């Protein structure tokens, strides 16, 4: 008897909304969602701060994420989709920023 394979939340969501996930180009810095949308603002937020403990850092990170507006994530996803499309249109060549 074959074991049942449990789908991840992402796979369930993808199937439910009929999203097709394009293949991700390996080592493509212009398509990494966190590089161009998440880490820049986070780096600016944390710039100049010092933390005495790891718990202090984790608390600040949680606070920062909790206070982000939903549009922050929407803009990031929309930007990624347009960058993916550029990459597809250029047949995988580098996408200029």
Residue-wise pLDDT for 25-65, tens only, equals 555 555 665 566 788 899 999 999 999 999 999 999 999 99
Query: Is 6 domain-assigned?
Result: no
Please report whether residue 95 resides in a domain. Answer: no
Q: How many residues does the chain have?
A: 97
In a domain, 40, yes or no: yes
> How many domains in the chain?
1
Q: 50 is in which domain, residue-wise?
A: 25-89
Q: Give the pLDDT of residue 67.
A: 95
- The token duo for 1 is 């008897």
Domain for residue 65, yes or no? yes
Model pTM?
0.55
Residue 2 falls inside a structural domain: no
Q: Is residue 18 domain-resident?
A: no
96 lies in some domain? no
Span of 12-16, 24-28, 60-64, 80-84 with lowest mean pLDDT: 24-28
Task: Find the DSSP H helices in the chain.
Answer: 9-16, 33, 39-46, 54-66, 70-89
CA-based nearest residue to 20, from 85, 75, 73: 85
Does residue 10 form part of some domain?
no
Instruction: Give CA–CA dist 14/85, Å, rounded.
Output: 19
């Amino acid at each position: 008897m074959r074991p049942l394979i449990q789908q991840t939340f992402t796979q369930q969501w993808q199937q439910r909304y009929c999203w097709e996930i394009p293949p991700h180009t390996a080592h493509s810095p212009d398509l990494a969602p966190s590089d161009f949308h998440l880490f820049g603002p986070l780096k600016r937020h944390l710039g100049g701060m010092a933390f005495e403990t790891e718990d202090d850092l984790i608390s600040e990170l949680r606070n920062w994420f909790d206070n982000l507006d939903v549009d922050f994530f929407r803009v990031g996803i929309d930007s990624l989709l347009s960058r993916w499309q550029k990459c597809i249109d250029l047949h995988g060549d580098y996408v200029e920023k």
